[in-house]
């Protein structure tokens, strides 16, 4: 469901019947199919809904097209409602309608009906499609707890000619086979990456065979703590279950297994001891339950846990809840610890700053003095200068910024300090002082040296030295040709727009083509986790691949929805052939170009700017999830998505947020709204996309913010400042690589 949307129905799309009453080639059904194939399933579903509301196209072909569109749009209840009970369902289109109904049922958690409908669809299908449906039937039978039926289905799939995924099918069949000898024979000599699943499959085979004791030990040997905990709990061994589940949450709190362990423990094994409460809290915190995590840590402290690690965790949770005074007390108590004292001292100082406490300055200065070798010491000095600068005390700010630059000249915070001091010098028209700071950045080979060179050009221009400015910018444009400041310098000297011609890739090498076919077959069969394991294996072997193989893999993965992996392989290719123009296309792919351009056109936004944001936000991963809860290609929070949908009069449910074209639709609308709000200024709109409207409005009110260069340089949030530069750089690289759009 996550990767190859056009293949969800387990087969090629059938021709759609054109109704007699509509002879125009642009029928609703044809339009929906073209939208679907262009990566716009939500638009396809909406098109068919409108047509259905008018009483058109009620024959089976139209109903099936509507159900498929709803399925691709992840509106599974609607897809099921369209097909369930239709008198022609069983006989239509060689079982395709049954397969669509089965997929909708499976996604709704109706495993047994889904399995039966998949089996019925398979009986009417032929060739590889029948084998693929057998795999999906096996998955549904397995979810329904029908091991024997699942084993038979997987066996039928193996016999049906799916040799390309044979290792994965053997693993799936073995884990539901009651005869352990037969299961273990299936698991013999399974090649990686499927072979990595063999220990878990052995354990599941033992469990199916009724040997729960053997299964328990096998799960333990396989490192499957969640399965150990669940099985031990089912066997009545609450002690072992407790050790396994709380150990998992303490050891790997950010994993999906730890999140599942939270639910199991709260339902059956609530925490009793302080360490258990802390372990539970650590697993709750990264999975959206910070408030509950805080309560558990507070209970642990009341039970006597006064360790520095626990107090630090409590301080973090309290600070996250804006209870800064309580957080300060927790950090102060943790600061007595020899190992964690420096970290606690630093965090306490930052909290005092948030409180506006006059002791913050002394605390930060004391930390920087006492822990000069700590990695947070430069940040402490920078925060001191930042606080004073915000108060208008530039003499005090200069003191701390100067100390930071002197003690840590190559640190990124020293770079920030130089630029803050230079900006203040420019406001006071102290051009020589500003130039000296930029020159120091270049001399120290510090992180913002290209930015410093750009600003040296601006200083030269402000003095009337056009020749020096142009020479500086021309050199920068050539030396940093695809960097933000190199591209900005190119515009400043009116050089021709950058053009990056990349020849088309040849056909993938045979080994890559075979592996991509295996990936497609796994996705068609519904084995998404197996497909992801195959991709991880490709990434692990990347350093041993030649450039042509890396680029073929990168291109193949990008179009299949594995955007982050595709870009990583592009960077691997860059290490081997940095001058190959094809490498840039791998690093800056555009796998869903038609959908992105269509959404940009609908709202009148620059498609290059929009794709630049999508590239920066999600790297074209439709399932991307940020720590802040933003989802999908355009990384919208549920609140922003719902508000934008309401403004467009679009029906929206949170479960739909990762439907690719709906996410892009709302993202383009949101970008359009930001551009309108900020008078068409792309720099401000992009900043607001990352940081929100309110901070950007404050930053625009600052002196000098009418100059986009000054505005970007003075964005106080380091993440947002880097984000704006990256997006604007991406925009120019996409324009150079892909030329004219279809808008």
Q: Which of 96, 142, 617, 713 is catalytic?
A: 617
Please state, in angstroms and as integers, the Cα–Cα distance from residue 693 to each residue in 349, 675, 677, 704, following that order. 28, 11, 9, 19
| 33 in catalytic set | no
For residue 631, what is the DSSP state? B
C-alpha 618/C-alpha 214 separation (Å) is 43
Q: Are 632 and 700 in contact (CB under 8 A)?
A: no
Decide: residue 60, CB within 10 A, 0-12 exposed, 13-18 middle, 19+ buried.
middle
CA atoms within 13 A on the CB side of 268: 19
Residues in the chain: 743
Whole-number Cα distances in Å, 334 to 88, 307, 351: 70, 7, 14
Q: How many CA atoms lie within 13 A of 427 on its CB side?
A: 14
Q: Cβ distance 95 to 122 under 8 Å? A: yes
| Count helices and strands in the chain by DSSP H and E runs | 41, 0
What SS3 state is found at 483? Answer: coil
* Under 8 Å between Cβ of 194 and 216: no
Dihedral sign, Cα of residue 261, residue 263, residue 269, residue 275: positive
In terms of phi and psi (left: phi > 0; alpha: psi -120 to 50; beta: otherwise), the region of 302 is alpha
Q: Calculate ∠ Cα 245-249-254, nearest 5°.
A: 140
Check: CB of residue 489 under 8 Å from CB of residue 568. no
Measured between alpha carbons, how far is 730 from 713 in angstroms, rounded to an integer? 18
C-alpha span between 672 and 343 (Å, rounded): 42
φ/ψ of residue 48, rounded to 5: -75, -35
442: Cβ–Cβ under 8 A, 6 or more apart, which residues? 449, 452, 453, 456
Can you tell me the distance from the alpha carbon of 139 to that of 136, in angstroms, rounded to the nearest whole number?
Answer: 5
User: Contact 461/448 with Cβ under 8 angstroms?
Assistant: no
Spatial separation of the C-alpha atoms in residues 694 and 692, rounded to whole Å: 6
499-520 b/e (C-beta count within 10 Å ≥ 16 → b): ebeeeeeeebeeebeebbebbb
Positive or negative: CA dihedral 441, 445, 448, 449: positive
Q: DSSP characters for 677-705?
A: HTTT-HHHHHHHHHH-HHHHHHHHTSTTT
Instruction: Please give the angle made by the CA atoms of 75, 80 and 85, to the nearest 5 degrees.
Output: 160
Contact in structure between 76 and 655 (CB atoms under 8 Å): no
d(CA 381, CA 361): 10
Question: Strand, coil or helix: what is 210?
Answer: coil
Token pair, residue 547, equals 């450039």
Nearest to 231 by CA among 255, 215, 248, 246: 215
Angle at 170 between CA 166 and CA 175, to 5 degrees: 155
Residues recognised as catalytic: 617
């Amino acid at each position: 469901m996550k990767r190859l949307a056009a293949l969800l129905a387990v087969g090629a799309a059938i021709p759609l019947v054109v109704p007699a009453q509509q002879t125009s080639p642009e029928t609703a059904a044809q339009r929906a199919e073209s939208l679907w194939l262009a990566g716009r399933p939500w638009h396809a579903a909406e098109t068919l809904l409108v047509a259905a509301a008018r009483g058109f196209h009620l024959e089976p072909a139209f109903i099936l097209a509507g159900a498929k569109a709803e399925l691709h749009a992840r509106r599974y209840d609607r897809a099921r409602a369209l097909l369930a009970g239709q008198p022609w369902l069983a006989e239509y289109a060689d079982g395709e309608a049954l397969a669509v109904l089965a997929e909708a049922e499976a996604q709704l958690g109706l495993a047994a009906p889904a399995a039966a409908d998949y089996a019925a669809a398979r009986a009417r299908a032929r060739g590889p499609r029948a084998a693929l449906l057998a795999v999906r039937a096996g998955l549904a039978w397995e979810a329904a707890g029908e091991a024997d039926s699942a084993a038979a289905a997987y066996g039928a799939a193996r016999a049906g000619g799916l040799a390309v995924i044979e290792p994965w099918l053997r693993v799936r069949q073995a884990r539901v086979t009651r005869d352990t000898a037969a299961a273990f024979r299936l698991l013999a000599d399974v090649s990686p990456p499927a072979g990595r699943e063999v220990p878990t499959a052995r354990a599941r085979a033992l469990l199916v065979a009724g040997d729960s004791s053997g299964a328990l030990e096998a799960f333990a040997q396989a490192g499957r703590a969640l399965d150990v905990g669940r099985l031990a709990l089912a066997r009545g061994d609450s002690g072992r279950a407790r050790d396994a589940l709380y150990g998992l949450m303490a050891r790997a709190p950010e994993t999906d297994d730890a999140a599942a362990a939270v639910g199991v423990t709260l339902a059956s094994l609530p925490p009793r001891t302080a360490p258990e409460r802390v372990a539970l809290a650590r697993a709750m915190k990264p999975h959206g339950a910070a408030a509950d995590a805080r309560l558990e840590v507070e209970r642990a402290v009341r039970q006597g846990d006064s360790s520095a690690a626990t107090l630090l965790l409590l301080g973090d949770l309290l600070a996250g809840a804006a209870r800064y005074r309580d957080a300060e007390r927790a950090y102060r108590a943790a600061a007595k610890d020899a190992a964690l004292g420096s970290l606690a001292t630093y965090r306490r100082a930052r909290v005092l700053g948030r409180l506006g406490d006059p002791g913050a300055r002394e605390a930060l200065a004391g930390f920087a003095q006492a822990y000069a070798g700590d990695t947070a010491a430069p940040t402490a000095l920078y925060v001191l200068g930042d606080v004073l600068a915000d108060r208008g005390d530039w003499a005090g700010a200069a003191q701390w910024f100067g100390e930071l630059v002197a003690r840590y000249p190559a640190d990124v915070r020293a770079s920030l300090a130089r630029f803050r001091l230079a900006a203040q010098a420019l406001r006071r028209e102290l051009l020589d002082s500003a130039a000296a700071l930029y020159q120091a950045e270049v001399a120290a080979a510090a992180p913002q040296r290209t930015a410093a060179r750009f600003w040296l050009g601006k200083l030269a221009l402000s003095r009337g030295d056009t020749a020096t400015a142009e020479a500086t910018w021309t050199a920068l444009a050539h030396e940093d040709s695809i960097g933000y400041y190199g591209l900005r310098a190119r515009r400043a000297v009116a050089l021709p727009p950058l053009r990056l011609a990349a020849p088309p890739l040849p056909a993938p090498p045979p080994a890559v083509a075979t592996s991509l076919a295996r990936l497609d077959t796994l996705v068609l069969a519904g084995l998404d986790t197996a497909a992801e394991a195959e991709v991880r294996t490709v990434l692990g072997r990347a350093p041993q691949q030649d450039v042509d193989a890396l680029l073929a893999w990168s291109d193949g993965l990008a179009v299949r929805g594995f955007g982050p992996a595709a870009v990583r392989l592009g960077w691997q290719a860059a290490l081997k052939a940095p001058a190959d123009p094809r490498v840039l296309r791998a690093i800056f792919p555009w796998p869903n170009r038609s959908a992105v351009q269509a959404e940009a056109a609908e709202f009148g936004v620059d498609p290059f700017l929009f794709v630049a944001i999508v590239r920066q936000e999600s790297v074209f991963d439709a399932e991307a999830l940020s720590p802040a809860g933003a989802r999908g290609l355009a990384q919208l929070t549920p609140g922003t998505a719902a508000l934008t949908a309401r403004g467009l009069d679009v029906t929206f449910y949170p479960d739909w947020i990762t439907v690719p074209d709906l996410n892009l639709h709302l993202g383009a609308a949101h970008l359009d709204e930001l551009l309108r709000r900020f008078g068409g200024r792309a720099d401000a709109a992009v900043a607001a996309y990352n940081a929100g409207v309110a901070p950007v409005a404050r930053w625009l009110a600052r002196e000098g913010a009418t100059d986009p260069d000054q505005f970007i340089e003075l964005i106080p949030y380091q993440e947002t400042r880097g984000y704006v530069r990256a997006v604007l750089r991406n925009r120019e690289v996409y324009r150079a690589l892909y030329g004219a759009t279809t808008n």
